[in-house]
Structure 1
Amino acid sequence: MIRSAITVSLVEEARGGPFVYWDGLENAFENARSLGYDAIEVFAPGPDAVPQSELQNLVKNSGLKVAAVGTGAGMVKHGLSLTDPDPSKRKSAQEFVRSMIDFGGPFGAPAIIGSMQGRFGGEINHDQALDLLAESLEALAPHASTYNVPLIYEPLNRYETNLIKTIAEGVAFLDRLSTKNVKLLADLFHMNIEEANVADALRQGADAIGHIHFVDSNRRAAGLGHTDFEPIAAALRDIKYDGYLCAEAFPLPDSKTAAEKTIEAFNRLFR
């Protein structure tokens, strides 16, 4: 069954970014619960930002799950990436991702690698960067498997990475890995920029897709841009997708409206 989720950011350095909630975990859980969401995706500054006991209580009291945890603070706060030409910095990047796997794993929440994938240029070319990224994912995915969750890798649009930008490129990259515990994040905003046809790309990704960011063409909540969601919903039914659709959207005109518009669209399309 496809489930709904919504993002909360606890990273002040990222304020203004595409996360619906910004004012603490308790507020996010309470508002998401009241609107009928199934889960929260947490973008935290690090694994120690939220005590496990606090998150456990929020999950228990709200009845919500943790859909996934972001690792982007490793880039935003510490300038780390998995394709850095400096081996010591790559090691630090891996350690940060590993710590976030440990943060989300007990809740059944996979860690997402988006901005921490980095870029190629300068000392390393495209193929070398992909080799370094593959090396990191091969090291990290088995650790994620100890919690029975995948590692989630996100293709980004051309303005945010120069590595892997489409679902087809992502599938080809996953095929080269020996680990089978990496899944793709299909972000509808990035796909709106890079894919010729979003629904067809989802069908091509099929079983490789493990998480979806449910957002409109302008990174606002679903229904506040020009995306036609009907073909996308049909494609997700065709591939029997049974993961989360998570609102990673700007809180425009405000968090309340963005959350309400997203769940309205989700219920119309999938409930």
Structure 2
Amino acid sequence: MIKSCVTIALVPQIKTGPWIYWENLETSITKAAQLGFEGIELFTASADAIDPATLTTLLEQSGLKLAAVGTGAGKVIQGFTLTDPDPAIRQQATTFIADMIAFGAQFQALAIIGSMQGNIVAGVEREQAMEWLAEGLNFLGEAAVAREVPLIYEPLNRYETNLLNSLSDGAEFLNSLKTRNVKLLADLFHMNIEESSLTESIRQNESSIGHIHFADSNRRPVGLGHTAVAEIAKTLQEINYNGYVSAEALPWPNPDEAAQQTIKAFHKFFKN
């Protein structure tokens, strides 16, 4: 069964980013539950930024699940990436992500590697950067195995990374890894930029997809852009995707209305 999810960001440095709820965890969880969301995707400054016991209580009271945790603060705040030319920084990136995997796994939640994959920087050959990325993902994929959760890798659009931009390129790379525990994140916003057909890309890479980011072509909540979401929803149902579709979208025009639009769209496309 496809499940609804909404993003909550608790990192002031990413205030302009595509997350629906902000700042207050308890208030955000309460609002999400009242609207009927089934899960939350959480962005924190680090793995120890939230007390697990407090989060457990809030989730139990609300009936929500922690679906996923983002790792992007490792890059935004600390400057860590898996493809940095400095081996010490690559090690710090790996440690940061491993800690986030451990935090999320307490709730059977996925950890997502998006911006922390980094970029191929000047003076570094593509082959070398991809070797560093593979090294990091192999280690972290197995770290996630030990915690009994998959690891999620997100292809980003060309304006955010020059590593891997499409689902097919991502799937081919993941299939080359030693670990078999890394799955793709299909982000509809990034796909709208990079894929010639969102539905065909989903079908071709269905076995590799482990998480969905639910946002329209302009990164506003679904229904406020031009993405053909009905076709995508039908495709996800036909391939028997049974994970979360998570609203990593801009809080436009404000968090409450963005959340309301998202759950309305979710019911329209997945519960009709």
The TM-score range, normalised by the shorter chain, is over 0.9
Work out the CA distance in 2 between the residues paired with 1:265 and 1:27: 22
Aligned to 1:67: 67
Deviation track 1:190-231 (CA, whole Å, cap 9, x = no partner) reads 000000000111111101000000010000000011111111
Structure 2: 5+ residue stretches without partners: none
Checking the alignment, whether the CA contact within 8 Å between 1:203 and 1:238 is kept in structure 2 is no
Work out the CA distance in 1 between the residues paired with 2:105 and 2:123: 35
Kindly report which structure 2 residues correspond to 1:41-190, keeping only aligned pairs within 5 A, or say none: 41-190=41-190
Aligned to 1:216: 216
Instruction: State the secondary structure of the residue aligned to 1:219.
Output: coil
Work out the CA distance in 2 between the residues paired with 1:109 and 1:98: 13
Work out the CA distance in 1 between the residues paired with 2:203 and 2:243: 15
Offset of residue 122 of structure 1: 1.7
Offset of residue 127 of structure 1: 1.7
Aligned partner letter, 1:94: T
Kindly report which structure 2 residues correspond to 1:2-41, keeping only aligned pairs within 5 A, or say none: 2-41=2-41
Deviation track 1:144-190 (CA, whole Å, cap 9, x = no partner) reads 11222101000000000000000000110011011110000000000
Deviates more, 1:37-46 or 1:233-242: 233-242
The answer as to 2:259 corresponding to 1:268 is no
User: How large is the Cα RMSD of the aligned pairs?
Assistant: 0.7
Work out the CA distance in 1 between the residues paired with 2:257 and 2:64: 20
Checking the alignment, whether the CA contact within 8 Å between 2:109 and 2:149 is kept in structure 1 is yes
Work out the CA distance in 2 between the residues paired with 1:23 and 1:171: 34
Work out the CA distance in 1 between the residues paired with 2:11 and 2:252: 18
Deviation track 1:31-70 (CA, whole Å, cap 9, x = no partner) reads 1100000000000000111001111101111110001000
TM-score (norm 2): 0.98
Runs of 4+ in 1 over 4 A off after TM superposition: none
Aligned partner letter, 2:15: R
Structure 1: 5+ residue stretches without partners: none
Aligned partner letter, 1:220: R
Aligned to 1:254: 254
Instruction: State the secondary structure of the residue aligned to 1:7.
Output: strand
Work out the CA distance in 2 between the residues paired with 1:175 and 1:85: 24
Instruction: State the secondary structure of the residue aligned to 2:83.
Output: coil
Aligned partner letter, 2:103: F
Checking the alignment, whether the CA contact within 8 Å between 2:11 and 2:23 is kept in structure 1 is no
Task: Count the aligned residue pairs.
Answer: 271
Deviation track 1:66-112 (CA, whole Å, cap 9, x = no partner) reads 01000000000000000001111100000000010111111011110
Work out the CA distance in 2 between the residues paired with 1:18 and 1:108: 24
The answer as to 2:224 corresponding to 1:227 is no
Checking the alignment, whether the CA contact within 8 Å between 2:82 and 2:94 is kept in structure 1 is yes
